[in-house]
């Protein structure tokens, strides 16, 4: 059977490409962000002030130009054209509108659903930028701008990046249908816990043992061996958020991807075909 809309047929995914300049900027931003999160495990604390309230605004100031450069580099490399930017704007706006619906109640988080699917369809570079812009737009919409925002933006960017890097083929067969949904459900569950751990890590060094009910085994110890502090952090994260907040986020991701994923993936891929982001293959009846 031939003719008709190729979006209904079998399509070979071709994510929006990452050029050398945008790839280098994305790698640099990720490495800087990783150091920003992980410094408590390798560097002694120098202050017991409030949670990154002094350094986070400077990180925010540095990171936003890097994000702008990333988008401009994508334009220069031919990866992001006007159509891709339009899709980015629409998905960011939808994510910003979806996030307040849950308001983070018991870990329910609706923003990662579309972020995972967008990264899956349009690729890691698009997913990286979508994570940043979604968190930034939702923060402006909900008055959620604070010292935690740059950390949320980077962590969400990695969620979108990872979704775009998931395997697309097993051997010679493209991952589609139920297998793809299972893959995305598992990924959504994993990143729910990873995101929660990262967001715990940004403020954990500034919590004194007295604020944890005297549990010194959960607090950050300046100058202690990295493995000791890592063990303290894992226990702190497990007891403070994993059982409720992170699990709620994981359940939300899994349910939304399983129930709405097939339909949304089809819509996104249809848009990609219409915008010529991906190549269409032979249509099957």
> What band does 12 get if pLDDT is binned at 50, 70 and 90?
very low
Regarding predicted confidence, which is higher, 132 or 48? 132
CA dihedral (140, 143, 145, 151) positive or negative: negative
pLDDT for 23 equals 83
Domain presence at residue 200: yes
- Chain segment 211-231, per-residue pLDDT in tens: 555 555 777 777 777 788 888
CATH code at position 107: 1.10.1760.20
191 domain-assigned = yes
Range picked from 61-65, 140-144, 235-239 for highest mean pLDDT: 235-239
Predicted pLDDT of residue 280: 43
Tell me if 35 is assigned to some domain. Answer: yes
- How many domains, the chain? 1
Q: Which of 102-106, 235-239, 280-284 has the highest mean pLDDT?
A: 235-239
Collapsing DSSP to helix, strand or coil, 221 comes out as coil
DSSP assignments along 146-182, one per residue = STTHHHHHHHHHHHHHHHHHS--EETTEE--THHHHH
Q: Residue 253 corresponds to which tokens in the numbers above?
A: 């991701």
Q: What is the C-alpha to C-alpha distance for residues 27 and 209, in angstroms, rounded to an integer?
A: 36
Q: Which residue has the higher pLDDT, 71 or 2?
A: 71
169 vs 105: which has the higher pLDDT: 169
Residue 152 within a domain? yes
CA-nearest of 267, 33, 254 to 156 is 33
- 54 inside domain: yes
Range of the domain at 199: 17-279
Q: Binning pLDDT at 50, 70 and 90, where does residue 69 land?
A: confident
At residue 235, does pLDDT exceed 80? yes
Q: Is residue 36 part of a domain?
A: yes
pLDDT tens, position by position, 174-213: 777 889 999 999 999 999 999 999 988 887 877 655 555 5
189 inside domain: yes
Question: Cα separation of 280 and 112, whole Å?
Answer: 27
Using DSSP's 3-state secondary structure scheme, residue 202 falls into coil
Comparing 84 with 261, the larger pLDDT belongs to 261
For 260, the token pair is 């709405």
* DSSP 8-state class, residue 4: S
Q: How far is CA 116 from CA 39, 256, 265, 280, in A?
A: 27, 11, 10, 22
Shortest CA distance to 95 belongs to which of 130, 63, 147, 145?
130
CB 18 within 8 A of CB 79: yes
């Amino acid at each position: 059977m031939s003719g008709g809309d190729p979006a209904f047929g079998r399509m070979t995914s071709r994510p929006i490409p990452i050029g050398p300049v945008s790839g280098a900027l994305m790698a640099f931003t990720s490495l800087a962000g990783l150091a920003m999160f992980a410094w408590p495990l390798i560097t002694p604390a120098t202050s017991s002030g409030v949670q990154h309230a002094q350094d986070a605004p400077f990180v925010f100031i540095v990171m936003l130009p890097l994000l702008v450069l990333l988008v401009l580099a994508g334009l220069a490399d031919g990866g992001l054209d006007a159509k891709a930017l339009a899709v980015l704007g629409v998905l960011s706006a939808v994510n910003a509108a979806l996030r307040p619906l849950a308001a983070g109640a018991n870990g329910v988080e609706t923003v990662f659903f579309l972020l995972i699917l967008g990264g899956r369809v349009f690729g890691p570079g698009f997913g990286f930028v979508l994570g940043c812009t979604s968190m930034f737009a939702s923060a402006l919409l909900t008055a959620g701008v604070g010292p935690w925002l740059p950390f949320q933006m980077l962590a969400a960017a990695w969620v979108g990046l990872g979704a775009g890097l998931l395997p697309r083929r097993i051997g010679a067969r493209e991952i589609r249908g139920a297998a793809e949904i299972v893959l995305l459900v598992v990924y959504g569950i994993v990143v729910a816990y990873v995101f929660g751990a990262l967001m715990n890590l940004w403020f954990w060094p500034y919590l004194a043992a007295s604020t944890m009910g005297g549990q010194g085994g959960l607090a950050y110890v300046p100058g202690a061996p990295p493995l000791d502090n890592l063990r303290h952090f894992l226990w702190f994260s497990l007891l403070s958020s994993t059982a409720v907040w992170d699990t709620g986020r994981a359940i939300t991701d899994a349910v939304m991807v399983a129930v709405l994923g097939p339909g949304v993936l089809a819509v996104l891929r249809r848009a990609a075909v219409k915008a010529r982001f991906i190549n269409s293959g032979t249509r099957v009846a």
